[in-house]
Structure 1
Amino acid sequence: MPNKKRKVLQYRKAVISDKSQTLYSLLLQALQKLPLPADRSLETAKGEDSFRLINNHKPTEKMIFGEFVCYEKGTSQPILSRDVVLEGTHFPVKYLQMKDVPKEFSGKDADFVNSVLYFAVFRNHVILAPTQQIRIDLFEKYLSWLLGVQSGVLAPGVSFNLRVGLRKENDQETTSPIVSMEIGGAMRAVETEDGGLALEPSSSEALTVQNTASIGVGRGLIVNLLKSMGVYSNTWDTILNGGDVTARLIIKSSSKKAEDNRKLFTNLQETCYRNLPPEDIVYKRKDGKTVRGETLMLSKPVYLQATRDGFISPDELYAEMNNWLTELIQNEGILNEDQVS
């Protein structure tokens, strides 16, 4: 498609333990209390000069459209120059710094934006257009901070999370339910802000057991598995210390109770989709057919007109989000679970 850019929209349902509130009402209050962008900026780690914030946003009577921006102070922008081929093997990469950008264009205090995630909120329903640089879980953590400690609109003790949206089962899927799931790919265990543990995608090609040894997840899982099989030895200890181990987990249910199986795999789906790429999850149905994880998620590709500068129009994207939300209401019945009108 010439002059078109592809974005994949994803759906999430905000789950708030205080049923009298919606994400729309909470976020609207927070944005009104914190009108200055600096007050909405979250520094990812002390001293790293890396920030995240809801930047431009457009509240309407029923919805909030906005952009979630990540930037780092003092960074440069790499540019691939295809005019020449160096040594007959590669294009040169040059780096553009903010000092090279005319001040009449950038202003005196400016930084390059790493990436932008666009979102739309209606009641507790969220449509997102994530990027490779900004995953949805980063936006979820930011919202928890913004609504909680930063603005105070989310009362202490009230929980909040964004639940993955799964499409409704058709007749064939109802008669042939999921009986097993296989989880693989590169993973690593990380400590969460509240002191808990979570699995997240790893940039390496294997489960980095060495990096998780201090937490006990990953290494402990594999060690206990090998010991239960009676094959653990000092040789395995040396291998694990090297961190060069790939883990693939297969969960299978032999229960004849379809409802028990459905509950089991629904809970597993929620955990896996929150922490792992959907393409690393494969299901098997009772009839033997396999289903890739990404096909069960509520998502939709859209194609947007690119400007002369190669960017998309946020307004066009917001219109696509609004249209898809209408489709989800009509076809997937996403409003059926709402307890707040």
Structure 2
Amino acid sequence: MDESFSQPPEPREDRGPRIPPAKLSTIKPDPTISLFFKPTKTSPLVLVDSKFSRDAAMIFCDRIRHDLMDNNSKSFTIVGGNLNGLKEVVAWIKQCVAEQSIVKFKDLEDDAPDLFTTYVNVIISAYYLGIPPRDLSDHILKRMSGIARKRLMSWDEVEWFYTTPLLAVLPNDKEKAVREVAATSVFWAWWNGKLDENETPEEMMTLSVLRQENSKLDQDLHDWCERNEAEVRKKWEEKDKAKKSGGLANGHHDENGHAVGSASGGGDGGGGDEATTVASPETKNWDTFSGEGPLGPPNSVATQDSGIGMGVGGKNIPSVPPTLPAVNEMDSINGAGDWAEEVSEVTRLNNQQW
């Protein structure tokens, strides 16, 4: 007997609970409960829905289910959060019930005002009610992160992400992931030239103040730079290795005695040139490598000279970098502008090998 048949299958990755689709067909419109909202414990009640299906509440909202089971209540009050975010979640639940499936939360237009805070308020309400993240909030967070790479959120939104107490309802890892959407937006705006000390000095000064006031924002930007620099270095190494492997065929002959070159497509060097072209649409060609490829955004002084020469033998040998001004000369608030230097650190290296 084949031993492979006697082995139990490997368990699938547990990504958390989901709402069983089969239960959606069991939801009845009656009986109903009333949903109320108040931003604080001492605030007056606001009616959200006076005829919300009790079955829907039991199936979708873990927190409401426990309250109804423990107290046999006919109403539930949400304390804290955002009323509009709560209404969006209630509307989503009703849509799922009507369509008899777990539908994707509606996509807001990328240029919608307060886009990011609107999405976050939905995530907060979903977590408060106990809706499984895989069914609602995970998709929203993924979409937010994608938009943040293309759009700079308003400074009011950036500040809100790092100061609002509403995120405390989220688990620590999810709170950090949501908060970092703001850092993602700022980093990619800087990297793509939307934030620049010469072109947008007032914007850069506002960022400097925010980073001084919010140490988490400052740290998240540092972390972004470190990750991005590591990715750039990794791809430079991949190109270097491809160049080295492509050059191995030089001076060799095939079985018919013909010389084989790295660009011939034959021998060990076949495809070597093609492998050296690495470009990702997500990064808008900043990682299309050359000997002068930057570790800074296109508008940064770091692009004057990468400080890297593609050396022989597969090693990146730093050339002597030119004397460069500070990446952000305007920013003099306790060195808060040095985060950009982490991305272009290679321009300051001399007489070292990677």
TM-score, length-normalised on structure 2? 0.21
Larger of the two Rg values belongs to structure: 2
TM-score normalized by structure 1? 0.22
**Which structure is higher in strand share?**
1
More helix by share: 2
- Greater length-normalized contact order (CA 8 Å, ≥ 6 residues apart): 1
